[in-house]
Amino acid sequence: MLAGQLYLASDPELVAERLQARRLLHRFNLSAPDESALREATLRELFGRIGPSFSIEPPFYCDYGYNILADDGLYMNFGCVVLDVCPVHIGAGVMFGPYVQVYAAHHPLDARLRCSGPELGSPVWIEDRVWVGGGAKICPGVRIGRDSVIGAGSVVTRDIPPGVVAAGNPCRVLRDIPAGDLRSPEELL
């Protein structure tokens, strides 16, 4: 699975690891708003790495958790999903709007093989200080360069270079971001 090769999600070890992640997610997602210590401890147990400061709003969902490697200053708004069958690298200062979905999981294109059960994964890289707008979807194997902005509702199917505004389905670069630009991505669409 981690090597990006075909694997069976029904493998007993993987089933047990997903169940453990579900237990932690259940604890996190049902925690009270004032239970910040419980929330932090639960996410530190779930994630493979998470920086000293972060804020993740419940509900949050993932497959395993241990493949999510986040640096300092991560913010995830409500309803984010990370399908982390392979490593999902999240740089420092990254911000996710509500309902952002990151997919490291995918399936074979050949219908017979796909229907027989094996799955695939490809790592995702979201570099430092990226802002991903609400409802965006990031596909397997994608790298988003540092300081870039992904517009709300975008579907990122290929790499995005650093320092750009990109949006759409499929997501495409709209323009570079000059230093000090205060416009929102929506003003550029």
pLDDT tens-digit readout, 117-126: 999 999 999 9
Using H for helix, E for strand and C for coil, what is the string for the chain? CCCCCCECCCCHHHHHHHHHHHHHHHHHHCCCCCCHHHHHHHHHHHCCECCCCEEECCCEEECCCCCEEECCCEEECCCEEEECCCCEEECCCCEECCCCEEECEECCCCHHHHHCCCEEECCEEECCCCEECCCCEECCCCEECCCCEECCCCEECCCECCCEEEEECCEEEEEECCCCCCCCHHHHC
Return the domain boundaries, the chain: 12-178
- pTM across the whole model: 0.93
Q: What is the pLDDT of residues 17-57, one digit of tens each?
A: 999 999 999 999 999 999 999 999 999 999 999 999 999 99
User: 106 an active-site residue?
Assistant: no
Q: State the pLDDT at residue 112.
A: 94
Give yes or no for residue 142 having a pLDDT over 60: yes
- Determine the topology of domain 12-178 in CATH: UDP N-Acetylglucosamine Acyltransferase; domain 1 (2.160.10)
